[in-house]
Amino acid sequence: MILSAHRSLLVFSGLCLLVCSPAKTQNERPAASLAKHEHREVTFNRDLAPIVFRTCAPCHHPGEAAPFSLLTYGDVKSHARQIADLTQKRIMPPWLPEASEWKFNDDLHLTPEEIFLFQKWVDAGLPEGAPADIPPQPKFDSSWHLGQPDLILRADSSYEVPASGSDVYWNFIFRVPLEKTRWIKAIEIRPGERRLVHHANLIIDRSQSSRRLEKTFGSGFPGMELQIESEAFDPDGHFLFWKPGTIPAPAPPDMALRLDPGNDLVLNTHLQPSGKTEKIQPAIGIYFTSEPATRFPVLLQLENDRKLDIPAGEKNFLVTDEFKLPEAVSLLAIYPHAHYLGRDMLALAKFPNGATKTLLHIPRWDLNWQAVFTYTKPVDLPAGTVISMRYRYDNSADNPANPNSPPQRVVAGNRASDEMAHLWLQVLPQSPVTESQDPRRVLQEAIARHHIANNPGDFEAHYNLAAMLQARGQTLQSIEHYQRALALRPGDATVENALGSAYFASGDFPNAIKHLSVAVASRPDYFDSQYNLGLAFANAGQFPQAIEHLRAAVVLHPKDADAEANLGAALAANGDTQQAIAHLRRALELNPQHTLARENLDSLTKPQ
Amino acid sequence: MTSRSTRTKLIATGPVLFVFLAIASFAGMASAQTALDLRGKSVDPFHSSRGKITVLVFARIDCPITNRYAPLLQEMNDAHKDKVAFWFVYPDKKTTAEEISEHLRQFSISIPALRDPSHSLVKHASVTITPEVAVFDSGGQLLYHGRIDNLYEIAGRSRPAPTTHELRDVLDAAIAGKPSPLASAPAVGCYISDLE
């Protein structure tokens, strides 16, 4: 009798764990130069229309997020002083990073010369200019940007955004109906009424762990930050971020995103009341490719939330973290994350040759305009490069974004009024994956150990490190870190399950049964732990108990061939040949290639 | 209009000669402070709100900041019906009465609306922004003009929630017969001067 497979989960927290569908193609920047315009009249058609069409119109057109259109002379004229004012203050177009050595896609940064043109135009009395000077008006259409998607999913129910009050964070779960593993080259997020949606993040939930947060099936759930559990070692390193004006771009052909049957996609939205009650019901369009990924980016997270304890009134609170890369990588994208008190956010790379360069500098953070920034060309970071983040927080009354009045002491947490200090990097390891060495694991293990060094009480770091060690076969070390995670969250069903499965792997069935039983008792609908407990009992020779828990697993996941096969095996071992045959046949119906089910069935049905 | 107030303005006409020019009282000027209701009829909001505190809310149908304040303004209107008369005033001469009616309907506003194409009320209230409120006492004296609260630091950048509540504070003082706590505070939104 052969029994197989144990499962555990890897926990990630934070906003994003997904694919880049950054945005639009770059239009060539008009080379506005101050000298060129000094001695002649500035006109809308010749001087401003190219800037407005490139940087304003993508959001300021009907159906998009911005409040009014900026497509014609008349449109712009009726907001002229406002535009001149907001561009000068660098509020519009919304673009947080300062210009630096490495450029980002869809850079909306205006040059001082461009900003000056708006001032000059207002001073000149808003001249329209010659009709021949105006470039063609950009065309926007409301259909799917990449053509008809292969699969369109709508949120099961809409969410009603109240007419007034503070910003709202709501999550929608998309249950993807897949029969087999598919590869995704692009996803378009259509968040619904765009005026209400400040930004949205799509996260893959490989273990349906978010479903537990819904009050009723399909209702969605509140929350600014998500904690998603991800099956075993699966370092999917993709961002899927939406902000107003985003046009999806397909991922490079060899970097498609894997989606398996049973995976959910969770859309985390930041919504702002508009003055009337409105319903939003987002949709996503998925574009598949037949080419599986051959290159796999990794997300690395620098963070130092433990240092976030900002006294009320503190104007300049510094939080830093630094991490030395154990492998050479190409940096593809960067995503800084703080809440309302963040002010100045800096990410640096100190190269092995001693040079220090700025990867990202946001001199004035604004949560409302957060984004994933994708480099136009990947940035080479050799092994030994030290990445650092230096975030400054302003918890004084002078910070207009301060959610507390008067200011209060603020610590790390998931609520909007708590703080965070995270920096996500999407990197592509430069050395190849071989049988003996996976650079993704080297990176993930190094970052987990880094987090533990920063914060020995970091539950997720212990858990993730344990899961990686377990995946690598270092079972005893993995048990040690699972135990440390369990000490931080006693009774946590996910950890009890993982620790049980690690004991199982080490051959310690009594301890496996002990921890898996705790997991099952606290969450009877937890498939993985029912399945694992069934296997543990079977391996310990306690077949009636094994049958009980494998039956429970089959009820929870009726289409799981492994569960059916093992139930069949346990029934056979317990002497119930008839039922055993039925379940082994069912396993083969679900997966005709299931070797264990085939062998066991053959041994039961063929004459000895 | 019961009480009368007189303002004087000093005008220099030469290096030495000063002329005191008496500006008509608000009561006397009231007939000039007219705007159009949605049927095109000339209306003097100060006359119509006689005996009450008057709040003019300068608005624009394509201004998201104005829209976001609709529930709060409606709530304040409902809470102080007996003592305060609210008016929505639309200064854009290109906006039609039909568009305004639709705007009010969409945002569930029952406050009466006026069109102010000649910017007569705009000038009278010294406002420059939509949304900006102007509060007048029952005698028509301008008590306050400016923002409703500080939800917006600047257009495009809002706080999680306001931390000052200027309109509420001014109205509470006016209703209690106390002096206004402040005369103005900068409003955030769209510039009225951008309208023709």
Residue B130 lies in a domain: yes
pLDDT, residue A247, reads 77
Chain B segment 103-132 residues within 8 A of A by beta carbon are: 106-108
Residue to mutate among B65, B66, B68, with most A CBs inside 10 A, is: B68
One fold for A299-450 and A457-605: no
H-run or E-run covering A553: helix A543-556
Contacts of B108 in chain A (CB under 8 A): 163, 276
Could A67 and B64 be called an inter-chain contact, meaning their C-beta atoms sit closer than 8 Å?
A: yes
CB A420 within 8 A of CB A308: yes
pLDDT, residue B29, reads 38
Q: For residue A506, give Cα distances in angstroms to A62, A250, A461.
A: 62, 43, 22
Q: What percent of chain B has pLDDT over 90?
A: 64
3-state secondary structure of A53: helix
Contacts of B91 in chain A (CB under 8 A): none
For residue B4, what pLDDT band results from cuts at 50, 70 and 90?
very low
Q: For residue A39, give Cα distances in angstroms to A35, A120, A171.
A: 8, 11, 54
**Tokens 């102007």 map to which residue?**
B134
Residue B3 lies in a domain: no
Q: What is the mean pLDDT of chain A?
A: 88
Beta-strand pair A241-242/A197-205: antiparallel
Contacts of B67 in chain A (CB under 8 A): 274-276
Residue B8 lies in a domain: no
The alpha helices in A57-131, defined as continuous H runs, are: 73-77, 80-88, 112-123
Which residue has better confidence, B176 or B31? B176
3-state secondary structure of A237: coil
Could A91 and B193 be called an inter-chain contact, meaning their C-beta atoms sit closer than 8 Å?
A: no
Residue B70 lies in a domain: yes
| CATH number among 3.90.180.10, 2.60.120.230, 3.40.50.10800, 3.40.718.10, domain A299-450 | 2.60.120.230
Name the closest residue on chain A to residue B196, using Cα atoms: A78
Of A79, A275, A401, the CB nearest to B159: A401
Which residue has better confidence, A215 or B10? A215
What's the rounded Cα separation, in Å, for the pair A272 and B25?
45
Mark the ranges of chain A whose per-residue pLDDT is less than 50.
1-35
> Given a cut of 70, is residue B6 above it in pLDDT?
no
B107-151 pLDDT, tens per residue? 999 999 999 999 999 999 999 999 999 999 998 999 999 999 999
Of B70, B71, B160, the CB nearest to A167: B160
CB B170 within 8 A of CB B182: yes
The total domain count for chain B is: 1
Cα radius of gyration rounded to whole Å, chain B = 17
Hey, what amino acid is at A559? K
Chain B segment 154-193 residues within 8 A of A by beta carbon are: 154-161, 163, 190-191, 193
What's phi and psi for A597, nearest 5 deg? Answer: -65, -40
CB of B18 within 8 Å of a chain A CB? The answer is no
pLDDT, residue A23, reads 33
Residue B135 lies in a domain: yes
Could B194 and A92 be called an inter-chain contact, meaning their C-beta atoms sit closer than 8 Å?
A: no
Q: Structural domain of residue B149, as residue ranges?
A: 34-194
Could A403 and B161 be called an inter-chain contact, meaning their C-beta atoms sit closer than 8 Å?
A: yes
What's the rounded Cα separation, in Å, for the pair A367 and A394?
13
**What one-character DSSP code corresponds to residue A309?**
E
pLDDT, residue A294, reads 87
pLDDT, residue A583, reads 96
3-state secondary structure of A246: coil
Could B163 and A273 be called an inter-chain contact, meaning their C-beta atoms sit closer than 8 Å?
A: no
A231-248 pLDDT, tens per residue? 555 556 788 888 777 778
pLDDT, residue A5, reads 38
B40-56 pLDDT, tens per residue? 899 999 888 778 999 99
What's the rounded Cα separation, in Å, for the pair A161 and A198?
13
Hey, what amino acid is at B68? R
Enumerate long-range contacts of A311-315, CB under 8 Å, 24 or more apart. Answer: A311/A395, A311/A409, A312/A395, A312/A404, A312/A406, A312/A407, A312/A408, A312/A409, A312/A410, A313/A395, A313/A396, A313/A397, A313/A407, A314/A393, A314/A394, A314/A395, A314/A396, A315/A394, A315/A395, A315/A396, A315/A398, A315/A399
pLDDT, residue A521, reads 95
Of A77, A166, A275, the CB nearest to B71: A275
Of A67, A82, A94, the CB nearest to B194: A82
Residue B24 lies in a domain: no
Residue B10 lies in a domain: no
pLDDT, residue A230, reads 60
Could A397 and B163 be called an inter-chain contact, meaning their C-beta atoms sit closer than 8 Å?
A: yes
Could A163 and B154 be called an inter-chain contact, meaning their C-beta atoms sit closer than 8 Å?
A: no
Domains of chain A, by residue range, sit at: 34-133, 150-289, 299-450, 457-605
> Given a cut of 80, is residue B159 above it in pLDDT?
yes
What's phi and psi for A389, nearest 5 deg? Answer: -120, 140
pLDDT, residue A358, reads 97
pLDDT, residue A478, reads 94
**What one-character DSSP code corresponds to residue B180?**
P
Could A79 and B194 be called an inter-chain contact, meaning their C-beta atoms sit closer than 8 Å?
A: yes
Name the closest residue on chain B to residue A68, using Cα atoms: B62
Could B72 and A78 be called an inter-chain contact, meaning their C-beta atoms sit closer than 8 Å?
A: no
Chain A residues with CB under 8 Å of a chain B CB are 67-68, 77-82, 85-86, 89, 91-92, 94, 163-167, 195, 272-276, 340, 366, 368, 397, 400-403, 405, 416-417
> Given a cut of 90, is residue B102 above it in pLDDT?
yes
Nearest 5°: CA angle at A329, between A328 and A334?
145
pLDDT, residue B20, reads 37
The superfamily (CATH) of domain A457-605 is Tetratricopeptide repeat domain (1.25.40.10)
Of A165, A275, A400, the CB nearest to B67: A275
pTM for this one?
0.82
Hey, what are A22's tokens?
A: 């950054």
Could B157 and A78 be called an inter-chain contact, meaning their C-beta atoms sit closer than 8 Å?
A: no
CATH of domain A150-289: 2.60.120.230
3-state secondary structure of B106: helix
Residue B111 lies in a domain: yes
A533 Cβ neighbours under 8 A, 6+ residues apart = A500, A513, A516, A517, A519, A520, A549
Q: What is the ipTM of this complex?
A: 0.77
Task: Give the residue from B76, B78, B71 showing the smallest Cα distance to B108.
Answer: B71
Could B107 and A401 be called an inter-chain contact, meaning their C-beta atoms sit closer than 8 Å?
A: no
Q: What is the CATH number of the domain that holds B44?
A: 3.40.30.10
Hey, what are A532's tokens?
A: 């694992």
Of B69, B159, B194, the CB nearest to A80: B194
